[in-house]
Chains A and B, each alone.
Chain A
Amino acid sequence: MAILVDQNTCLLCQGMTGWAGTYHTNRMMQYGTKVVAGVTPGKGGKSHLDVPIFDGVAEAMKATGANASAIFVPPDNAGNAMLEAIEAEMALVVVVTERIPVLDMVRVREALVGSRTRLVGPNSQGVLAPEVCQIGVMGTDRARRGTMGVVSRSASLTSEVVSQLTRVGFGQSTTVGIGGDPVHGIGFVECLELFFADPQTQGIVLIGEIGGTEEQEAARYLRENGIKKPVVALIVGRSAPPQRRMGHAGALTIEAPGDVEGKIAALQDAGVAIAPSAHLVGATMRDVFAKRAA
C-alpha cells in the first residue's frame, strides 16, 4: 500500500484539454494511472485522449466514479477549480499550477475546513506511488517500488533524492510534493502521520528549505508523538542571501525567521537524521538502516 493513492485510484483531470493537461494526462496514462474523466467547462460531451469530458466535477464523479483530481488550470482560475472539487467532495485533489494568488489559497483553506478533501499543492510536482499510480508531472524513470516515503517542498530535490535512494537499493512507497507555495494543502505533519500508518513504508525522507515554519512543526509533532520509523531530513538554503525571494516564495519577516540552522536543530532534537549535503541523502538513509541492523 502506498499513501494517498493506490491501484483503485481513478483520476479526473481538471483542465485536461489544454496543452499542459493533454501532455501530462498522456504521460500519466502511459505510466498506468487510470484516468477516467476530464473536466473542461463548455466541452462536456466530447472526448479527449479517449476519455469522456464533462462540464463539471460533480457530474464527472457521478458518471465515472473518479476519486482523485489533478488540476492543470491556469493560476487565475485554479482557485475556483479547487473550490469546485472540494464542493463535489473529491477525496484527493493534486494541484500542479504555480503562482496562484495567495488570497485564493486562503479561500480554499477556509473551504477545506470540515470537508472530505485532501489537497496536495499547489505548485506541487504531485504524488507518485512507483509502478502503481502517478498523479503529477514528475519524472518517473528513476523511481522504483519499495519501502521509502518521500515528502518534499521541492520538485527538483525529490527527483534527486529518489534517484539516490534507488541507487542505494531503496525503492519508494510514495513521493509527495507538498508544494513550494507558502499557503498550501497537506504538509509535513499529515504526510508523516500517513507514512507512519502505512505498512509498506519503512523509512521516510523529509526535504525542507529556508522560509516558513513547517519543518519546526514537523519536529514538534515528532517530539510529541514519537518517531515511529526512521526519518532522514535534508534542509537546504543556508547559503541563500537574506530577505530575497529564492524561487519559492519566502515567508514574511513578521513570522518567525525560518532559518536553516534552527530547522536542523529542531529536527535533530526530535531524533531525525540530518543528511549533511544534498548529494548524501541516499547514503544517510543507508547508514541509518545499517546501524539498525547491527
Chain B
Amino acid sequence: MQLQEFQAKKLLSGYSIGIPVGAVAVTPDEAEAAAAQLNSAAVFVKAQIEAGDRSMAGGIRAAQSALAAKAAAKELLGQKLVTSQTGPNGQTVKRVLVEARIQAVREFYLAMWVETLSGSIMLTAAEGGGAEIEQRFAMNALQLQSLRLSMKGGLRPGDLVELCRRIDLPEQAVEKFRELVERIHRAFIDFDASLIEINPLALTQRGDLVAVDAKFVVDDNAVFRHPDLAELSGEAEADRGELQAQRHQINFVQMDGDVGTVVNGAGLGLATLDMIRAAGGSPANFMDIRTTAKSLDIAQGIGLVLDNPRAKVLLVNVFGGGMQPCDTIVDGLGIAFRRSRRVLPVVLRITGNNEDLARLRLANFNLPKTECSDMWQAVTRAVAIAQGRA
C-alpha cells in the first residue's frame, strides 16, 4: 500500500524528520490561501496520488505567486494523472500539496527497503537527487551506496561515516544524517514499511536535511496491524474488479487480450499466460484462485472474466491440489454461468484431486464446453476459438 506524499510526510514529521512547510488543498481557492500563507517567493503545487513519477507527467507545478498557485491547482484538481506507475487509466487528483520551495545547497537520494535474498533491511543512498536519479539509474550511471541494518538498527558508526564520504556528504552534516537514518529506521519498523524513499533529500544553507519528496510503502501483509493506515488508503482508483477479486481470495489482473483465463495457483497462472502467447494468442486477464477460495468466491472471479467484453473464450486450466479439489472450481464455474447473461465457449483442462467428481458436476451444468486432456491442447484450442478459427 503506497501512501500519498502528504500522508508520508506527516508520518515522517512525527519522527522529527524535516519536511517543507506546506498545506493540503482540495480547491483552487484553498491552494491560493495556502500559497499566500507560506510567504515564499516560490511554491510548488503537487498532485497527490498513490503513484510516483509525477513530475514527468506534469503533476508537479512551480508557481511564483499565490494567484499562479491557484491557477496550477485548478489545472490539476479533478484531472486524471497518468504516470509510468499508475497504469493506463491514471488516477484522479483529489488534493494538491502546496509547499514552500526549499533552497538546496546539495541534493541526495536516500531509501530504506527490504532486500529479499538476504532478508534484511537495506539503507541505500546516492549523491544527487530528483527525477534525474531515475534516468541515471536506468542508464546504469548511478553509484548506489548500501548498508545492511538489523531490526534493532545495528549500524556501525564507522560504516555510516564511510557511506557519507562516498556520497560526498559534507562532514558537518554527518551527525544530522546519522540522526535521520535512525529516525527513518524507527518509522520503518513502527509502520511495517517495505520502502521509505526520500528523493530528493535536500541539504540547506543552514545545514538542515529536508525530505523534499517522500515515498512510503506499507507492507500489504501487515496492514492488519495498522487499522489507522488502512483508512488512509483506498482513494486510488485501483481497478474495481481487481479489488473485488481480492476480497474473494482471487488475484486478478485485467489485460488487453481476448482469451479469458481461470487458473488456480500463481505459477500455473503465469505459465498459462506464457502458453497463450506462445500459441499466438493474447490473454484477457491473469487469474490465481487462492487455495482459500470457496465455490462462491470462484464464481465471483469467473464473473469478472464473463463481464469483460473483450473476452471471447474462457480457458480453464486447473490442477486440483490437496487444499482445493477440482470440483470446488467447477462448482464456481457452474454458478458463474448461471448468474451471467453472457455465455462464452469454455475450454477446460482439469486434472488432479477429485477430477472425476468435477466431471460429474460439470455434466450437470450444460456449458458450451470442450475438454482437453493436455494443457497445451487446451491453450491452442482456446486461442483458435478466440481468433475465429474453430
Q: Give Cα A229 to B225, complex, Å.
A: 46
Q: Give Cα A156 to B273, complex, Å.
A: 14
Spot the interface stretch: B17-25, B95-103, B317-325, B381-389.
B317-325
Q: Give Cα A98 to B273, complex, Å.
A: 23
The reply on B151 being an interface residue by CB < 8 A is yes
Q: Are A102 and B322 in contact (CB under 8 A)?
A: no
Q: How would residues 189 to 228 of chain A score, 1 for a CB under 8 Å from any chain B CB and 0 otherwise?
A: 0000000000000000001011011100100000000000
Q: Give Cα A159 to B289, complex, Å.
A: 15
Residues of A142-175 whose CB lies within 8 A of B: 142, 152-160, 163
Residues of A239-256 whose CB lies within 8 A of B: 239-241, 243-249, 251-252, 254-255
Name the distance in Å between A112's Cβ and chain B's nearest Cβ: 8
Name the distance in Å between B287's Cβ and chain A's nearest Cβ: 9
Q: Are B286 and A246 in contact (CB under 8 A)?
A: yes
Q: In the assembled complex, which residues on chain B have CB atoms less than 8 Å from the CB atom of A155?
A: 265, 267, 321
Contacts known (A159-B321, A279-B375); A246 close to B111, Cβ less than 8 A: no
The reply on A118 being an interface residue by CB < 8 A is no
Name the distance in Å between B356's Cβ and chain A's nearest Cβ: 12
On chain A, the number of residues with a Cβ less than 8 Å from chain B's Cβ atoms is: 68
Q: Give Cα A153 to B267, complex, Å.
A: 8
Q: Are A102 and B219 in contact (CB under 8 A)?
A: yes
Q: In the assembled complex, which residues on chain A have CB atoms less than 8 Å from the CB atom of B271?
A: 157, 160, 234, 236, 277-278
User: Which chain A residue has the least Cβ–Cβ distance from B120?
Assistant: A106
Q: In the assembled complex, which residues on chain B have CB atoms less than 8 Å from the CB atom of A80?
A: none
Q: Give Cα A239 to B283, complex, Å.
A: 9
Q: Are A141 and B224 in contact (CB under 8 A)?
A: no
Contacts known (A214-B117, A254-B113); A156 close to B275, Cβ less than 8 A: no
Q: Are B224 and A252 in contact (CB under 8 A)?
A: no
Spot the interface stretch: A5-13, A62-70, A132-140, A265-273.
A132-140
Q: In the assembled complex, which residues on chain A have CB atoms less than 8 Å from the CB atom of B291?
A: 137
The reply on B82 being an interface residue by CB < 8 A is no
Q: Are A140 and B319 in contact (CB under 8 A)?
A: no
Q: Are B124 and A106 in contact (CB under 8 A)?
A: no
Number of A-B contacts (CB under 8 A): 186
Q: Are B221 and A99 in contact (CB under 8 A)?
A: yes
Q: Are A102 and B194 in contact (CB under 8 A)?
A: yes
Q: In the assembled complex, which residues on chain A have CB atoms less than 8 Å from the CB atom of B270?
A: 209-210, 236-237, 239-240, 246-247
Q: How would residues 108 to 120 of chain B score, 1 for a CB under 8 Å from any chain A CB and 0 otherwise?
A: 0001011111111
User: Which chain B residue has the least Cβ–Cβ distance from A258?
Assistant: B116
Contacts known (A99-B221, A214-B117); A156 close to B322, Cβ less than 8 A: no
Among B219, B274, B288, B290, the residue within 8 A (CB) of A239 is B274
Contacts known (A103-B189, A153-B267, A252-B195); A183 close to B351, Cβ less than 8 A: no
Q: Are B116 and A141 in contact (CB under 8 A)?
A: no
The reply on A182 being an interface residue by CB < 8 A is yes
The reply on A107 being an interface residue by CB < 8 A is yes
Q: In the assembled complex, which residues on chain A have CB atoms less than 8 Å from the CB atom of B253?
A: 241, 244, 246
Name the distance in Å between B64's Cβ and chain A's nearest Cβ: 34
Contacts known (A139-B322, A246-B269); A76 close to B374, Cβ less than 8 A: no
Name the distance in Å between B269's Cβ and chain A's nearest Cβ: 6
Q: In the assembled complex, which residues on chain B have CB atoms less than 8 Å from the CB atom of A238?
A: 274, 277
The reply on B4 being an interface residue by CB < 8 A is no
Of the listed residues A108, A154, A213, the one surrounded by the most CB atoms of chain B closer than 10 A to its CB is A154
Q: How would residues 283 to 312 of chain B score, 1 for a CB under 8 Å from any chain A CB and 0 otherwise?
A: 100101011000000000000000000000
Q: Give Cα A76 to B283, complex, Å.
A: 35
User: Which chain B residue has the least Cβ–Cβ distance from A24?
Assistant: B322
State the 4 A-B residue pairs at the shortest beta-carbon distance, nearest first: A156-B265, A154-B267, A247-B266, A109-B119
A-B contact pairs, 20 of them (CB 8 A): A102-B219, A102-B222, A103-B114, A110-B120, A125-B322, A141-B353, A142-B352, A153-B267, A154-B265, A159-B352, A183-B114, A183-B116, A209-B270, A236-B267, A241-B255, A241-B286, A247-B266, A247-B267, A277-B274, A278-B268
